[in-house]
Each structure stands twice: as C-alpha cells, then as structure tokens.
Amino acid sequence: MIPAAFDYQRASTLDEALSILADRGEDAKLLAGGHSLLPLMRLRLATPAVLVDIGGLRDLSYVQDRGDEVAIGALTRHRDLQISELLLNQVPVLAHVAGQVGDPQVRHRGTIGGSLAHGDPASDLPAAILALDGTLCARGTSGERTIPATEFFTGFLETALRPDEVLTEIRVPKSPGKFSFKKFNRRAQDWAIVGVVALSDSPARVALVNMASTPVRASATEAALAAGAAANEAAQRASEGLEPPSDTNATTEFRRHLATVLVRRALEEVGL
C-alpha cells in the first residue's frame, strides 16, 4: 500500500499543466481528486514518474447555464454536482447520480473529469453522461477539441484522451424529464455490481454500469423501446451484445439477470 517514488508538480494554470504534460509525455499523470489514481498507485498498479496536480485549478470547477446545455468544469467535485441548483432543475439525473458515488469523503474529493478520464466501467458518472449524450472538451498543446461521450470510452480504463490532453469541460443537454438510477451493490459505499441510468426523454435512453469493459448504452433495449416494446420486453434485451465481467460479487450470468431486472425497474420508474 506504499506507492513507488514519484515526482510531484502542482500546476497553477491549465497552460502550465499542459506544458508539463508536453514535456514529460507518457511519464506524467494528471492528479485531480486522486480517488481513482492514488489507490492504483498504492497497489503499484500505476507507477507514474510524475504527478501533475491540477486540483488547484478552481476555474475549472463550475456548473453553468449555456442555453440548451449545461456546462460543467472538469474539476467539479461530485458533491458540488449533487447540490447544484442548476443541475437539480435542469439535469436532475446528474445531481442524483453524483450523490450515489462512494461515500461522503469520496464525493468531496473526486471530480467528474477524473471519473470520466479514468474510464472505469464500474463508475457511475460515465454512464450518466453517456445516457445524456454529453460532449467532452479536451485541451492539448495543439488546441481544443470536443468528443461525443459515445466515442469517448474506448476500452477498459482507456479513453479517447491523448496523453498530452486535459479534459476541461463536460456539456450535457438540459434533460429535466423523468429519470431513474438503479445502483445495485452489497454495501452502500461500493461501486455498482450493475447500475442502470434511464431517461424518459424521447427517444428513451438507457446506459449501464459495469456491464462491459467500458460504460455502455443498452442499445438493444433502446432499439426495442423505439420500436414500441413495453418495459418488460425491452428489459429482456438489456445485455444483448454485451460481455459483462465476472468477479467475486457476481458472475457474468448473474450480471445479465440483474441488468434485466434493474432495467425493467428503471423503465417502470420513468413511466415507460
């Protein structure tokens, strides 16, 4: 539980962070809330040579109204999402999901940018952003680009971000309609064994937590709903095309079963 030795640099501006990244390349890792990265380092599953601490970039912590969209700074902590009036009114699903992450300590440290950039299929916020059809903004030395959430998660703990890029902002369309978040776990503080985010807005969208090597949309279920299937019927197809993991909490087979039950419950809850 003792990490390997590393250098530590605290960035006071985004540009400074970018220039250190450009300098140190793959040796460098950004440090935001540290609640995914530090556990990996303690287990020596990650051994970055230098940590670039962007935790002090408070100008990247915000929730702003942008007309049809809400924009969220990458360094906004889960707790700030949970209590944001704007989100509670315009994107309530995001506030709710943020409130279900880990425990109070985790929610006061972890950031939405870190959660997305980490690319963990077991994390809650990525599924919410996927379901919302969000857009992610990244800045690199060569400029800024936007990446649709549906193209962001490329593999287990892998994303479309390049090593020299910082995720700066997440934009989601306002979605004040009904939502449901079903997080199934055995202890309150744990990651989801299976999680389901469902939105009633047309077309209805469903995203799954911990049902594949990346956060995913339940596309077969969505297609069934679009074709007019009832909740129960659409839920039967929750894990179609997916290869959910198997671990000490649940086998692949049980995860498939859970997804069916939880998707049905989520759809019923949003009135579909």
Partner 1 sequence: MPGVIAAFTGADLASEWAAPMPCAWPVTPDMKNPPHYPLATQRACYVGDGVAVVVAESPEQAIDALAGIVVDYEEEPAVTDLEDAAADRVLVHPDIGTNRAYTWELISDPDALKKAFDSAAHTVKERYIQQRLIPAAMEPRGVCVVPHPFGGDFTVYSATQIPHILKVMLGITCAVPETSLRVVAPAVGGGFGSKLNVYAEELLALALARKLRRPVRWVEERSEAALATIQGRGQIQEIELAADADGKITAVRVHLIADMGAYLQLVTPGIPLLGAFLYHGVYDVPVYGFSCTSVFTTKTPTDAYRGAGRPEATYAIERAIDALARKLEMDPAEIRRRNFIRPEKFPYSSAAGLVFDSGQYEMALDKSLELVGYDQLRQEQRRRRENGSARLLGIGLSSYVEMCGLAPSRVLASLNYSAGGWEAATVRVLPTGTVQVVTGTSPHGQGHVTSWSMLVADRLGVDPQNVEVLHSDTAVSPHGMDTYGSRSLSVGGTAVAMACDRVLDKARVIAAHQMEVAEEDLEVSAGTFSVRGTPEKSMTLQQVAFEAFTAHNLPDGTEPNLDGSITFDPPNFTFPFGTHVAVVEVDTETGKVDLVQYAALDDCGNQINPLIVEGQVHGGIAQGAAQALWEEAVYDDSGNLLTATLADYLVPSAAELPSFKTGATVTPSPTNILGVKGVGEAGTIASTPAVMNAVVDALSHLGVTQLDMPASPEKVWRALTNVGKEAGR
Task: List, as one string, the DSSP characters of 176-244.
Answer: -S-EEEEEE-SSTTSPPSEEEEEE-SSSPEEEEESSSSS-EE-HHHHHHHHTT--HHHHHTTTTTT---
Binding residues for ligand FAD, total number by CB under 6 A? 30
Applying the rule CB under 6 A, the residues between 224 and 253 that interact with ligand FAD are: none
Q: Rounded to whole angstroms, how far apart are CA atoms 205 and 185?
A: 22
**Minimal distance in Å, beta carbon 236 to ligand FAD?**
27
Q: Rounded to whole angstroms, how far apart are CA atoms 18 and 133?
A: 27
Q: Which amino acid is at 153?
A: F
Q: Does 113 bind ligand FAD (CB under 6 A)?
A: yes
Looking up tokens 């916020």 gives 125
Alpha-carbon separation of residue 95 from 7, 175, 267 (angstroms): 35, 12, 19
Applying the rule CB under 6 A, the residues between 185 and 204 that interact with ligand FAD are: 189, 191
Per-position x/- string for 249-268, each x denoting binding to partner 1 as judged by CB under 8 A, each - no binding: xxx--x--xx--xx------
Q: Does 118 bind ligand FAD (CB under 6 A)?
A: yes
Binding residues for partner 1, total number by CB under 8 A? 21
Q: How many residues does the chain have?
A: 272
Where along the sequence are the contacts to ligand FAD (CB under 6 A)?
A: 29-37, 39, 74, 101-102, 106, 109-111, 113-115, 117-118, 123-125, 161, 166-167, 189, 191
**Interface residues with partner 1 (CB under 8 A)?**
1-2, 4-5, 43, 184, 186-190, 193, 248-251, 254, 257-258, 261-262
